Amino acid sequence: MRDLLKKDTAFWIVKPAIGKEGITGLGTLFSGVFIEVQPGNSEQHAEKFDLLGSPPLASLDAKGIRVILTSDQAGRLNTGAPVLFHGYRVGSVEASSFDIKSRNMHYQLFINAPYDGLVTENVRFWRDSGIAFDLSAQGLRLEMGFLTTLFSGGVSFDVV
């Protein structure tokens, strides 16, 4: 069992849910909710894990990297919201949770390969509302991103 308890192992609750992909977890209507596990690949073992409310959006064999962002302000970031690099979708927000002790929000992102190579120690993340505007002497410049970022928010990142 210890071999399953790696730093990147994920646990989530399986329950009935209705989403963009359809209805899932109907079997739990008869069996009750249960906890599912996705074994990690990390060399490091762990003893404490965050229990996710839903499965990771990336498939079990997806290539990429999971990143946890911490913020002292809650934002409009829903599960499935896009993760963008220079406006190009490279991943998704997998989960969000509030830590009562630290009073911080935690957002779990999955960045697909090969874009996971862009995540280095010199990368900066920020919430993306989907709208950017600039008012200058030349007039008003308005940029709109993904329609989904307008409704559910998103995260952008860049290397500094």
Residue 140 has a pLDDT of: 65
pTM: 0.58
Would you say 107 and 96 are in contact if contact means Cβ atoms under 8 Å apart? yes
What is the reported pLDDT for 111? 94
The predicted structure's pLDDT at residue 10: 85
Taking the chain (160 residues) in consecutive chunks of 10 residues, what is each chunk's mean pLDDT?
80 72 70 83 85 73 88 77 89 87 90 94 82 63 50 78
